[in-house]
Structure formats: structure tokens, C-alpha cells
């Protein structure tokens, strides 16, 4: 390949790299994801270890809190995407 046939660095770039999230939002999202996973595991453990009539409210409360935490994390993620400029 001759020097003239070689593509330049500008022509090789076909897409832009997305901007990195700010550290505070990324840390918050990671904390929320870890808490979601922990609450989900706790809910499964509650489901299989506590007797059904007695453990069912604890299971539902734990699942409800996990869904709320995940919803907050997703809303933070979507808010960041909407504010992204080109």
C-alpha cells in the first residue's frame, strides 16, 4: 500500500466516542445497581427460607424497594442521555 492509498486518520474515524459520564453520576448509578442486586438476592432468600404466609409481606416489601431503586437508576441514566449534546 502506497502512502497515497493509505487512509488518513480523519477518514478512518467513522464515529465519535460517547462522552464519559461524570464520576458522581456513575458512582451513584453503581451504588444503586449494587443495592438493587443485593435487594433482589435478599428477596429470593426470603422467598425460599421463610414460611409462605408469614414471609410473603417481607418478600413483597423487598421486591417493591428493589423495583423502586432500579427505577431511580434508570431515570438517572435516561436523564443523562437526554442532556447529551452532539
Predicted structure pTM score: 0.68
Residue at 6 is within a domain? no
Residue at 35 is within a domain? yes
- The stretch 26-34 carries a mean pLDDT of 95
Residue at 47 is within a domain? yes
Residue at 77 is within a domain? yes
pLDDT tens per residue, range 41-71: 999 999 999 998 999 999 999 999 999 999 9
- Taking the CB of residue 83, how many other CB atoms lie within 10 A of it? 7
- For the chain, the domain total comes to 1
Distance CA 63, CA 70 (A): 11
Q: Which domain holds residue 78?
A: 27-82
Amino acid at each position: 500500500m502506497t502512502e497515497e492509498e493509505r487512509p488518513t486518520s480523519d477518514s478512518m474515524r467513522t464515529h465519535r466516542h460517547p462522552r464519559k459520564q461524570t464520576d458522581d453520576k456513575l458512582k451513584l448509578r453503581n451504588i444503586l445497581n449494587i443495592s438493587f442486586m443485593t435487594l433482589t438476592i435478599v428477596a429470593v432468600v426470603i422467598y425460599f427460607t421463610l414460611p409462605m404466609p408469614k414471609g410473603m409481606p417481607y418478600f413483597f416489601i423487598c421486591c417493591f424497594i428493589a423495583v423502586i431503586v432500579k427505577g431511580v437508576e434508570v431515570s438517572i441514566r435516561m436523564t443523562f442521555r437526554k442532556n447529551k449534546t452532539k
